[in-house]
Amino acid sequence: MAEKTGKILAVDDNEDILFALRMLLKQHVERIVTLNSPDQIPIVLNHEKFDVILLDMNFTKDAISGQEGFDWLGKILEIDPEAVVVFITAYGDAEKAVKAIKMGATDFILKPWQNEKLLATVSSAIKLRRSRLEADELRVKQKEMSAVMDQPFTDFIGNSEQMQQVFSTIKKVAQTDANVLILGENGTGKELVARALHRHSMRRDEVFISVDLGSISETLFESELFGHEKGAFTDARKEKPGRFEIASGGTLFLDEVGNLSLPLQTKLLTAIERREVTRVGANKPIPVDVRLICATNNDVYDMVSNNLFRQDLLYRINTVEIHLPPLRERADDIALLANHFLKIFSKKYKKNIKGINTAAINKLMHYSWPGNVRELQHAIERAVIMTDSQILDPDSFILSPPRRKTGELDFDTYNLEAIEKQVIEKVLKLNQGNITQAAQELGLTRTSLYRRMEKYGL
C-alpha cells in the first residue's frame, strides 16, 4: 500500500482495538472512521460509502456465539449489496468466521494481528471493492446499451404518420438485400436511414461504407470507387482497393447519387450489373458482394425525363424507395426532436437545462426549417451553449429570417447549363455570397455548389 487509497469503516466495542487500527491504517488509507457500537452502522452507511468495513464478530450483548456479527453482516449487505466486509475475530472464532464468509463476508483477521498481514488483507479488500464497483458500472452500461439497441431506431425519431411509414418500410426492407433509394431534402437524415437499414440487416456484423459522390471529382471517381493499381497514374504510389471492394460483404451507401454525370452513371451501372469492379490500371475484374443503398436530394424522375439521369440505373438502384419528409411537413415531431437534442447537448456541455418553454416550442414549430432536422439540431446545440438559464425561451433561438420571394426568373435561353448558371448567380447574390445558405436554397451540398461554381467560373 505505497500510496493512500481507500476509505475504511472499523466497528469494535474495544476502544484499544479501534485506536490501534486508526494508528496503523491512517498511514496507508485516505480515510478511516471508527465506531464503538454497531448500532451506528446504518446511520453512517446511509451518509457515506466505504471501500472496506472491518467488523468485530462479538459485541457486549453476546461475547461467544458471534451471532451479532452475523446479524450486522446481513444488515450491512442490505444497505450496500456490494459492501466488502472483513471480520475481526479471536483465534477461537475461526470456524465462525468461515461460516460468515459463506454468508457474504469477504475475509477475516485474527486477533492479535500481524500488521503486515492486516495491511495485505485490507489492500486486497479495497481492490475487490473497486472491481465490484467497476463490474456494477459495466452492467449498468450494458443494460443501458441493450435498452437503446432494443429500440427499433435509435438515431432518429418521430411520432408523425410520415415517419411511422418510414420506420415500417425500414423494418420490411432491412432483412432483405434489395437495393434501396432514399429520397429527401438535405438535412432530413438520409444517412441515418441507410445506417438503420444496415444495422437491422443480415450484414449488420460487416462493414458499412459511406461515400459522398458529390465530393468526388470525375477524375477520381473510378479510383475511389473501383480502386487502382500501383503506377496506374502519376500519384498512384501503391495499390489501393476501391470502396466497392472494401464494402464487399457489407453495405455500400452512395450519397448524392443524383450528382453523377452521365458517363459516371454508366460506369456505376456496369459495376452494379456485373457485381464486379476493375481497378484502374488492371485488367482482371474483382467480384464484389455489396448491399447497395443510394440517396439523393434531386428529383431523379425529372432528371430522367430531361435525360440527365439514366433510367436503367434508376431501375437498378430503387428496388425499394424511401421518401423522407422535410421537417416542415411533420411539425408535430419538432417538439419531440427538440427535447431529444436538448437532452443530448445538455449532457454533452454539462448544462442543467430542464426544458424548453411553450413560447419557444411555438417559435420552433412556426419556422420553416429549410435545413430540416440538421438545422434544428444545430439550433438546439447553439441555444444550449449560449444560455445561462435552466429553461430555453424564444430568445434562446436565433433563426434565419423568412426567405424573400424572388418571383419568376426571366431567361433568354432554354439551354439548361446557361439557365443553371443564371440561377446560381442569382441565388448567390440574394444570399450575399453565403455558400451554405445558397447551397440550402438550391438543394445542393456545399461541395456540389462549389463544383458548379468552378464549372461556370463563378
Alpha-carbon distance of 59 to 71, in angstroms, equals 11
Q: Pick the more confident residue, 326 or 408.
A: 326
Give the domain CATH number at 356. 1.10.8.60
Going by the DSSP 8-state scheme, the letter that residue 445 receives in this structure is -
User: In terms of domains, do 231 and 135 share one?
Assistant: no
Angle at 92 between CA 91 and CA 96, to 5 degrees: 105
Residue in this structure with the C-alpha cell 464478530, named with its chain if needed: 57
Tell me if 221 sits within 8 A of 259, measured CB to CB.
no
Q: Domain range holding 366?
A: 333-396
What pTM value is reported for the model? 0.57
Give the domain CATH number at 265. 3.40.50.300
User: In terms of domains, do 190 and 315 share one?
Assistant: yes
Burial of 146 (0-12, 13-18, 19+ CB in 10 A): exposed
Domain count, the chain: 4
Q: What is the pLDDT of residues 207-265, one digit of tens each?
A: 899 999 988 888 889 999 999 988 888 777 888 889 999 999 999 999 999 999 999 99
Average model confidence (pLDDT) for the chain?
A: 86
**Over residues 24-39, mean pLDDT:** 90
User: In terms of domains, do 51 and 93 share one?
Assistant: yes
- Please report the pLDDT score of residue 402 as a whole number: 57
| Contacts with 365 (C-beta within 8 Å, 6 or more apart), sequence order | 331, 334, 335
User: In terms of domains, do 447 and 376 share one?
Assistant: no
Q: What is the pLDDT of residues 130-161, one digit of tens each?
A: 888 877 776 665 554 444 444 445 557 888 99
Angle at 151 between CA 148 and CA 155, to 5 degrees: 75
Alpha-carbon distance of 180 to 166, in angstroms, equals 13
Q: What is the pLDDT of residues 101-119, one digit of tens each?
A: 778 888 888 888 889 989 9
User: In terms of domains, do 131 and 15 share one?
Assistant: yes
Query: What is 339-358 written as a DSSP string?
Result: HHHHHHHHHHTT----EE-H
Alpha-carbon distance of 41 to 59, in angstroms, equals 14
Is 387 inside any structural domain? yes
User: In terms of domains, do 321 and 179 share one?
Assistant: yes
User: In terms of domains, do 166 and 299 share one?
Assistant: yes
Alpha-carbon distance of 9 to 49, in angstroms, equals 9
User: In terms of domains, do 215 and 173 share one?
Assistant: yes
- Burial 255-286, CB ≥16 within 10 A → b, else e: bbbbbbeeebbebbbebbeeebbbbbbeeeeb
Q: What is the pLDDT of residues 183-199, one digit of tens each?
A: 999 999 999 999 999 99
The order of strands in the sheet holding 320-323 is 208-212, 251-255, 291-296, 180-183, 320-323
User: In terms of domains, do 131 and 167 share one?
Assistant: no
User: In terms of domains, do 109 and 90 share one?
Assistant: yes
